[in-house]
């Protein structure tokens, strides 16, 4: 197997690869709120909605994982002629992927899965799904897109969620075209008869799917998984099987009966949904970059160990994978009893916040320059931390402070400021923000929109109606709280005293 250096070099090649995803796509909606009473109309809980998150699901989640890995990705799929379909197109474009081959159908609504969450529990789920088969006309349009595009890609993923987009004819056409161009096809399979994927290079069934495809063979041990995978290869014509096995990791079995078992690298498991999408995306990126199947699966196993520590169908990100590979234990963040707050980018901060929120923790946020840390800052931050379970600090980066306060500031650079303030027990996470040029938005508004804290703290030298962030908090159900400040203490006064000590003494 590859060493860490080889793995990192391989991941660096991902951005040069092009991968095409074909399959069912849906909109995943997560509505979070509080359940505090039972309805007077029926014995059911009443949930007050606080926040809503929308993300790509099914084949869209595979696409998001590819984009997160830096791959140049495109998707061929179908959405309804509705607002949810437009949202899916927007989300595809937002993640940097190509949505030009997404077909709109007036006959079939966009698939939507809406999950209602209270703390870390799912209260219930509402699905909107197609109620009729795709027409021959739609099938012809899909195949025409595949014929037009496939030669430009280094790998193809068939993401089958059983909604009918991947018809037997479409699968045959795709695998045939890919074979002509020597392009590997990877399949996230569905159904009891996987011979419809004959000729595919890799299939990635989970334990349940592997058992169904082998008419109920046992899959509870290494040995039984190997036997079932051999049987599936023999009967389906798929060349290799990568069986995903939850807490047992994954097993790679090829047509020559060679096998490798890769044990799980997950440190904490919050949600396994979407892990299969991460696995197939990472394997495809590895193969497209020239790796062997075992090496690609090894990296995919690390990626899966990261995403199961996230809430919902959150994709892997390139930087997370690199950090995990550099750590011998795959630990991305220090234990929570550490007093050294991590400095994270916006996406990593959002992922960490989702982990905390999955445990029912209340997330607070405050922001500022904190150029020279003083007692007033410490008092303020301690008061804020006492009103929430985790406190995230938005720290103006150096250029942002120059715009706010002039070329002589900051006194301390951003890394020094983040390191000092991150050492306070009140701070759990530090994120940089701010404008790069004069005239740009220099507030924390865009950061708030991404991480969506429960409470935004600000000093009581402001009023809520003067805070540009207050309306933003209201859009996702957050609230603003003003914290009393310690009178007579400020960074500006400290700097003046340092410059004119005699005047300050007088």
142-148 contacts at long range (C-beta below 8 A, 24 or more positions apart): 142/22, 142/76, 142/78, 142/103, 142/170, 143/169, 143/170, 143/173, 145/76, 145/101, 145/103, 146/22, 146/76, 146/170, 146/173, 146/174, 146/177, 147/173, 147/177
Positive or negative, the Cα torsion across 92, 94, 97, 103?
positive
Closest CA to 25 of 93, 82, 92, 83: 92
In whole angstroms, give the CA distance from residue 365 to residue 406.
26
Yes or no: say if 110 and 128 are a contact pair by the CB < 8 Å rule: yes
In whole angstroms, give the CA distance from residue 492 to residue 30.
44
Q: In what order do the strands lie in the sheet with 102-105?
A: 102-105, 72-80, 18-23, 155-159, 185-188, 202-203, 240-244, 250-254, 259-262
464-392-348-121 Cα dihedral, nearest 10 degrees: -80
Radius of gyration of the chain from its Cα atoms, rounded to whole angstroms = 26
Q: Is 188 a catalytic residue?
A: no
Residue position matching structure tokens 């219930």: 124
Residue position matching structure tokens 């169908």: 313
Strand partners, 52: 31
How far CA 10 is from CA of 3, 6, 104, 291, in Å, comes to 11, 6, 37, 7
How far CA 5 is from CA of 11, 247, 435, in Å, comes to 10, 26, 36
Residue position matching structure tokens 């869209």: 60
Neighbours of 450 (CB within 10 A): 13
Lookup: tokens for 492: 């500006």
Phi, psi of 226 (to 5 degrees): -60, -45
Q: Among residues 28, 188, 277, 351, which one is catalytic?
A: 277
In whole angstroms, give the CA distance from residue 428 to residue 431.
10
In whole angstroms, give the CA distance from residue 272 to residue 213.
22
Residue numbers annotated as active site? 277
């Amino acid at each position: 197997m590859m060493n860490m250096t080889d793995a990192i070099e391989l991941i660096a090649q991902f951005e040069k690869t092009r991968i095409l995803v074909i399959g069912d796509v849906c909109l995943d909606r997560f509505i979070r709120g509080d359940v505090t009473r039972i309805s007077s109309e029926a014995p059911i809980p009443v949930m007050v909605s606080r926040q809503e998150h929308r993300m790509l699901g099914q084949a869209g989640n595979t696409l998001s994982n590819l984009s997160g890995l830096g791959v140049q990705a495109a998707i061929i799929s179908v959405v309804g002629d509705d607002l949810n379909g437009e949202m899916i197109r927007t989300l595809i474009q937002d993640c940097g992927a190509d949505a030009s081959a997404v077909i709109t159908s007036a006959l079939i609504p966009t698939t939507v899965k809406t999950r209602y969450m209270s703390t870390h529990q799912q209260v219930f789920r509402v699905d909107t799904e197609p109620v009729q088969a795709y027409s021959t006309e739609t099938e012809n349009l899909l195949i025409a897109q595949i014929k037009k595009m496939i030669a430009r890609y280094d790998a193809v993923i068939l993401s089958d969620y059983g909604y009918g987009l991947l018809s037997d004819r479409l699968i045959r056409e795709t695998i045939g075209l890919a074979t002509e161009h020597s392009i590997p096809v990877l399949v996230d399979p569905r159904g009891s008869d996987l011979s419809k994927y004959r000729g595919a290079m890799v299939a990635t069934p989970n334990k349940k799917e592997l058992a169904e495809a082998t008419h109920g063979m046992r899959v509870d041990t290494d040995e039984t998984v190997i036997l079932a995978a051999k049987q599936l290869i023999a009967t389906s014509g798929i060349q290799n099987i990568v069986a995903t096995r939850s807490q047992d990791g994954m097993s790679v079995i090829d047509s020559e009966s060679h096998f490798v078992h890769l044990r799980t690298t997950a440190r904490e498991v919050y949600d396994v949904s979407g892990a299969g999408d991460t696995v197939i995306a990472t394997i495809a990126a590895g193969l497209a970059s020239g790796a062997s199947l075992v090496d690609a699966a090894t990296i995919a196993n690390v990626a899966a160990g990261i995403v199961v520590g996230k809430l919902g169908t959150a994709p892997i990100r390139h930087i997370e994978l690199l950090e995990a590979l550099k750590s011998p234990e795959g630990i991305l963040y220090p234990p929570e009893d550490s007093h050294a707050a991590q400095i994270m980018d916006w996406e990593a901060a959002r992922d960490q916040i989702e982990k905390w929120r999955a445990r029912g923790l209340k997330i607070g946020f405050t922001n500022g320059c904190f150029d020279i840390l003083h007692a007033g800052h410490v008092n303020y931050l301690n008061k804020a931390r006492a009103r929430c379970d985790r406190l995230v600090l938005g720290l103006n980066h150096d250029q942002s402070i120059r715009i706010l306060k002039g070329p002589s500031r900051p006194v301390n650079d951003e890394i020094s400021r983040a390191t000092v303030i991150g050492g306070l027990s009140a701070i759990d996470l530090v994120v940089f923000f701010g404008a790069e040029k004069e005239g740009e938005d220099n507030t924390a508004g865009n950061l708030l929109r991404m991480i969506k804290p429960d409470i935004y703290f600000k000093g009581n030298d402001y009023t809520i109606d003067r805070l540009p962030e207050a309306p933003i908090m209201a859009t996702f159900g957050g609230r603003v709280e003003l914290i009393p400040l310690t009178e007579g203490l400020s960074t500006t006064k400290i700097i003046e005293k340092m410059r004119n000590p005699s005047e300050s003494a007088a």
